[in-house]
A and B are shown apart, each in its own frame.
Chain A
């Protein structure tokens, strides 16, 4: 596609519900990143993939967070048993190079509100 597409754009969940956030990267982009951005803060790294391989998941805040990219294209970030502190914008970004500096193209984000 022309850009990075994320869905849903807005999600309201009750505390304890599971949510799934989807990212469609730019076609052919090898690297895919997930970030969490709280209001007034910079994006916090969660995890990143190169094709289907999850190379780093050190930023996932707890074992309630899980990300996958099974075919090396679309990725899903799943949050189980959501808590109020999970409320944030979740940004997905993709980049072409398998090696070399990752210049990221971001999606518009998925804003999660946990009540």
Chain B
């Protein structure tokens, strides 16, 4: 089974940097996904980490430490459109989601 823990809600200011943490306990771990979900819409893929370390993709970066069961998503230069839920999902072929972190970006 899998135990996934993320903060429920976060608030950050436009232009700032925010870090969303995720801890997990899972059997048969292979990698970790991050998805973004705007209210009323379907999730969309952001990143996938299979090795330890930081993966950078534009304003978004994702970090993974497999030994610690820990990941974070880093969002830089926040924009209002970044207001959404961010879902942490350990997995490989079978993808299981956490409850998500609802991020509100304020002016």
Contacts and interface: CB of A to CB of B under 8 A. Distances in A.
Interface of A: 31, 33, 35, 41-45, 48, 55-56, 91, 99, 101-109
Instruction: Give the secondary structure class of B's interface.
Output: loop
Given A101-B48, A108-B41, A42 B93 contact: no
Given A31-B93, A35-B97, A42-B87, A103 B42 contact: no
Contacts of A31: 93
Contact of B97 (A43, A48, A55, A103): A43
B20 to A, nearest CB: 13
A67 to B, nearest CB: 14
Interface of B: 30-31, 33, 35, 41-45, 48, 50, 85, 87, 91-100
Please give me the 9 A-B residue pairs with the lowest Cβ-Cβ distance, nearest first.
A106-B42, A42-B97, A42-B100, A42-B99, A43-B97, A45-B96, A103-B45, A102-B93, A106-B43
